[in-house]
Chains A and B, each alone.
Chain A
Amino acid sequence: ETGVTQSPTHLIKTRGQQVTLRCSSQSGHNTVSWYQQALGQGPQFIFQYYREEENGRGNFPPRFSGLQFPNYSSELNVNALELNDSALYLCASSPLAGAVDTQYFGPGTRLTVL
């Protein structure tokens, strides 16, 4: 049990729609990272937020955006959904910016785009 929770667990959307995924970080963790894990692949880094500001971004288009709130919760928003956005989305929280060695992953949200 890592203390990192995600909601919903599963979600089905249609192409072109918008989706919001939520993550609740472990208490005291002011950094959250989001990863996309397509079927049969390893997770890919989307972006990291530190103290409510984007701290780094992977190779994902601007229609992937995020928010981080003072209460240790965060959101991943994806606009104009495409079929290949279907994946498991993982969030990971850590107590320090850039501290990948102390981050804890949540159970993920599985998004299916039809």
Chain B
Amino acid sequence: AQSVTQLDSQVPVFEEAPVELRCNYSSSVSVYLFWYVQYPNQGLQLLLKYLSGSTLVKGINGFEAEFNKSQTSFHLRKPSVHISDTAEYFCAVSGAGSYQLTFGKGTKLSVIP
């Protein structure tokens, strides 16, 4: 079984400042890792995913994440945030070949003008 811990429930950050949203996971098998974004009253949009290979993964909207196997982490970063990045962000894990995603509880990112 897998589990995900998102260490911050809310992250306020000023516009054009960098941001890091933290995610730790636990699993006894090889994993796939994902970050999703959810805007108010909408479904989930995939930002990026790690399946294998390079540990630095680049996604949409200028986001990137780094897979760290020794620290079981998959933190999401953006060097300069915009007002439109205000949303809730979910980290998710899946065992390789599994049919289900296990999500964290989410981090609400608020970008302050």
* Residues in chain A within 8 A of chain B (CB atoms): 2, 4, 6, 33, 35, 40-45, 48, 55-56, 58, 90, 92, 97-98, 100-101, 104-108
Contacts and interface: CB of A to CB of B under 8 A. Distances in A.
B42 A107 contact: yes
A24 B43 CA distance: 14
Contacts of A42: 4, 90, 92, 103-106
B94 interface: yes
A73 B19 CA distance: 39
B90 A100 contact: no
Given A42-B90, A42-B106, A100 B44 contact: no
B100 A58 contact: yes
B75 to A, nearest CB: 17
Contacts of B34: 100-101
Contacts of B98: 98, 100
Contacts, number: 60
Name the residue among B34, B99, B100, B104 with the largest chain A CB count within 10 angstroms.
B99
B112 interface: no
Contact of B94 (A40, A58, A100): A100
A97 B4 CA distance: 23
B103 A44 contact: yes
A96 to B, nearest CB: 10
B13 to A, nearest CB: 21
A22 to B, nearest CB: 15
Nearest to B90: A42
Given A42-B103, A56-B99, A100-B32, 8 more contacts: A41-B105, A55-B99, A58-B100, A100-B100, A101-B32, A101-B49, A105-B43, A107-B42
Contact of B100 (A2, A41, A48): A48
A45 B101 CA distance: 7
B100 A101 contact: no
Query: Which are the 7 A-B pairs with shortest beta-carbon distances?
Result: A42-B103, A45-B100, A105-B44, A98-B99, A107-B43, A105-B43, A56-B99
